[in-house]
Every structure is written in C-alpha cells, then in structure tokens.
Amino acid sequence: MRGEERTETVIAGVLRAPDGGFGRGRVHVGGGVVTEVVAGDSPYAGPAEVIDVGDAYVLPGAVDAHVHSYSHGGEGLRASTSAAAAGGVTTVVEMPFDADGPINNRDRLAAKQDRIATEAVVDVAVLGTCEPGGGWRRAGELVDAGVVGFKVSLFDTDPFRFPRIDDAELLDVMAAVGEAGSTLCAHAENNEIIKALLADPANRASTDPGVHGRTRPPVSETLGLLTAMEIAADRGNALHLCHLSLGRSADLVAWYRGQGVDVTFETCPHYLLFTEADMADGRLKINPPLRGEADREAMWRAVGTGLATVIASDHAPWPLELKDHAAILDNHSGTPGTETLVATALGGCLRRFGPGEAFGRAIDALTANPADRYGIGHRKGRLEPGHDADLMVLAPTEDWRVDAGALHSNAGWSPYEGYAPGARVTMTMSRGSVVWSAEKGLVGAPGHGEQVSRG
C-alpha cells in the first residue's frame, strides 16, 4: 500500500510552512502516506473525504523517544501504544530494559517483535542494549535484526534488568555501536556518588520527599554526562543523553557540540512543569530528580533555542502500590507520560513563547529530531510527500484538563491530574488511519502498529 497514488483523505487546518510560519493549508493522504501538502486556503473540489479542523494545528505525529512498556508486567505495548495514540504519538521508541529480560540478544528481540505485531496500536522502534561483560559484541547483529539504537546506563539501577556499564567497557560499547552505524543513548548519572548517599541509613529511612534530590545531587548528573561525552569524543560515535534536568547539563552539551562531538539530549515535560518544591507528592520520584526553578527556566530556554533537540516522556507506568511508600526511596522512579507528552510540552510552549520560532523548535523536538536521531526520519516525523501519513491535530484550549481516569496507560494515575496544559490532541492518524479522536475515542486496534527500522 505504501506509495499508492490515489488520494483518500484531506486534512485541512493550520500547517507549519517551510519558512517556519503557520497558516491554513491541507495535507493529502493516500495509501498510508502523505501525497501532497498544499499551503493556503484554496478550495478543494476532489472526491476525497475532507476533515477540516478549523484553527487547530495539523502537525506530524509525535515520536516519543523514551517509552518503557515492559519495565512492569502490568503495562505492555497494548496499553502504552493506546496511550500514545490518544496523545498524538504515532511512533514510540521502546526502551530495552524489560522486567523479563533486557533486549540484548536476537531471541529476546524476536520475542518483542512478535509482541509488536500483535499488541501495538501505533508504530514502534526498538532499542537494544549491551549487557556488562561483552554484550557489545552483538551490537552489529542486533542492528541487522532491526534495532534503531542502543541504551546503556552509567548507574546500576538493577543488576539484571537495568545494569551499569562501567567506564572501561563503555569504551568498547561506544566503538561497537558506532561501527554498527547506530546511536547510543545513555542514562548518565554517577554511580559512586549516588550509591554512597543511598547507603546512608538515615537517607534510606527518611520520609522527607526531598531526600531523593539530596541523594542524587546535581554533580551526579553532570559527572555522568561528562563521562559519556568524553568517551563519545574519543570514540567518535553518535551519543544521545536521556532526560537531562539541569541548566548546567545543557551548557555542557552545548560546549561539546561546539567541539564537534555528535551529541544530543532530551528533556521531559516533568522538568519543564515541576520543580523540587512539588516533591511533597512522593509520586514525583524520578531519575534524575526534579530540580529548582532556575533549572526549569534553563530547560525552557533550551527548548526555545533548539539546544534541547528532543522532548520525550520517559513513560514509566508504575502502579500506585509501587509509588506510595512512606519512605520515598522505597518508591520506584518514574511516572506515566506518553499520553500527556504533546499536550503538556506544546501547550506550555504556546503559553510561554506563542506560535513562533520557539514553538516550531518544540514541534521538531517531538517529531523530526527524534526520528532523525534514530534513523527513521525517512518515514517519520515530517508531513512531506512520501512520508508515512502520521499526523496529529492539536487544538489550543484552556478548557481541557487531564483526567487520569480517562487515560489509557494501565498505571491508573498521572502526575498531571487536574492540570490544564493549554492544548489538547483531538485526532491522531497513523499511516493514514485515524486511531484516536476526541469524538470517538480510541479507534485504533492492536495489530495496526508495525516495527520501524533504520533507513
């Protein structure tokens, strides 16, 4: 069906022009791909169905670069991709650290690919990982089998599911990923500093939510990313840094990029909307932790200038029984977020910057940039002829509020409960098929989604 000439659907609304401005236009869709993009409000007299969304934005479907569907057995791709569809996300980049075993060999990858074929509502790009003790030797075969990149951690989150790669082996990992023509993304926190602080019995027993930030101080993040960037500079491979929280971290990335290092980073809506003052809610335990107001403002500046090339959800849908312990350090780290990613990021951007260049950069951070970083930009992240007809309709509004009970993740809660983000996704189309609409709800079915591999 890809590449079919017949036009089946026309979506009219506010489009982003090549010069970065916004104005009325229409997107023509046929055979699952974009066939034409027309600027202006000229009349259309063809036979296709026309969906006119008025003054709402017609944007590329989002590529959520950070989704954990199987860290907990209660979620899975059916729930996470349903949530994605309802939030305007048409491709999820699936993390490799699954509860039943990390994606570090062909057998586990094949099992996950089978799950995609039967469970996914929208498309999925899969990351692999390299376990300690030589897993980097399988990087090339995993790329050949379809992974779009690799993720490793510099912090020992879990010795089986989410182990640490030490500095010496990181040299080999980066070289192998680079030789395979792929991208390495890293959870960059300093293991020694954090482990020492976590070992303090007073910290372990504390019911003060602020202890989470104190056991992961800013220097633990900056030292982690400095290690990763220095090794990337030495090995010459592409590096993507996950979920940065600090203005200083953004400045350090900018310096290394100025030195010619191929490094990008993502931030997340929780770092744009919350601060450590919100940690009275222990459910907001996230790694790295929420920071102060100055860092939140710095992250918004990084989004507005394009330094933060990716905005991702870090969707970690832990159920409440794993988030409501009295001692906050007993809680699992992370929050659900793929369904609220677009609304919170772009709604906040419209409020802060208006519909100008900064808004355009935030759109890129949710669409074209993550697609390009993981080698799927030939199909995803743009409304251009020949690309997959993945799109979302975003309506600016102050009337809609997040209702956790209406969300599609199995987590059953949201850190944005009751929040009015300033925008709402009212329709999502995946490869030419509407999978979500505010009017009809979720209409996409498991099995529609496909695995996406590097171009």
Structural domain of 143: 61-373
DSSP element (H, E) containing 435: strand 433-437
What is the model's pLDDT at position 9? 95
**Single residue among 317, 345, 373 that ends a domain in this structure:** 373
Q: Taking CA 225 as the corner, what is the angle to CA 359 and CA 124, rounded to the nearest 5 degrees?
A: 55
Torsion of CA 111, 268, 187, 142, to 10 degrees: 30
433 domain-assigned: yes
**Sequence-ordered list of residues with C-beta below 8 angstroms from that of 328, at least 6 positions apart, any chain:** 206, 207, 208, 209, 211, 212, 282, 285
pLDDT (tens digit per residue) in 124-175: 999 999 999 999 999 999 999 999 999 999 999 999 999 999 999 999 999 9
Same domain, residue pair 302 and 417:
no
Q: What share of the chain is helix, strand, coil (3-state, %, to 5)?
A: 35, 25, 45
Same domain, residue pair 269 and 183:
yes
Q: Does position 417 have pLDDT exceeding 60, yes or no?
A: yes
Same domain, residue pair 128 and 46:
no
Tell me the CATH number at 189. Answer: 3.20.20.140
What is the model's pLDDT at position 4? 38
Mean pLDDT for the chain overall: 96
**Single residue among 343, 373, 403 that ends a domain in this structure:** 373
Alpha-carbon distance of 242 to 150, in angstroms, equals 12
**Sequence-ordered list of residues with C-beta below 8 angstroms from that of 136, at least 6 positions apart, any chain:** 130, 169, 172, 173, 175, 176, 177
2 domain-assigned: no
450 domain-assigned: no
What is the model's pLDDT at position 48? 86
280 domain-assigned: yes
Cβ(116)–Cβ(451) under 8 Å?
Answer: yes
pLDDT (tens digit per residue) in 230-250: 999 999 999 999 999 999 999
Smallest Cα–Cα separation from 161: which of 98, 110, 107, 108?
98
What is the model's pLDDT at position 2? 39
With a pLDDT cut of 90, the percent of the chain lying above it is 95
Same domain, residue pair 229 and 84:
yes
3 domain-assigned: no
Compute the residue count for the chain.
455
Indicate the number of domains in the chain.
2
Handedness of CA 210, 215, 216, 217 (dihedral sign): positive
Q: Does position 52 have pLDDT exceeding 50, yes or no?
A: yes
Same domain, residue pair 217 and 102:
yes
Smallest Cα–Cα separation from 43: which of 72, 12, 67?
12
Q: Does position 335 have pLDDT exceeding 80, yes or no?
A: yes
Same domain, residue pair 410 and 317:
no
Same domain, residue pair 38 and 80:
no
Alpha-carbon distance of 411 to 317, in angstroms, equals 5
What is the model's pLDDT at position 64? 99
What is the model's pLDDT at position 299? 98
Same domain, residue pair 52 and 66:
no
Same domain, residue pair 258 and 359:
yes
Alpha-carbon distance of 93 to 164, in angstroms, equals 21
Alpha-carbon distance of 266 to 340, in angstroms, equals 16
Same domain, residue pair 159 and 247:
yes
pLDDT (tens digit per residue) in 109-124: 999 999 999 999 999 9
Alpha-carbon distance of 210 to 239, in angstroms, equals 31
381 domain-assigned: no
369 domain-assigned: yes
Q: Does position 1 have pLDDT exceeding 80, yes or no?
A: no
Tell me the CATH number at 411. Answer: 2.30.40.10
Q: Does position 5 have pLDDT exceeding 60, yes or no?
A: no
For 315, how many CA atoms within 13 A lie in the half-sphere containing its CB? 35
pLDDT (tens digit per residue) in 78-90: 999 999 999 999 9
Residue range 257-277: mean pLDDT, rounded: 98
Residue range 86-99: mean pLDDT, rounded: 98
Same domain, residue pair 50 and 82:
no
Same domain, residue pair 121 and 181:
yes
290 domain-assigned: yes
What is the model's pLDDT at position 7? 61
* More confident: 96 or 281: 96
**Single residue among 324, 345, 373 that ends a domain in this structure:** 373
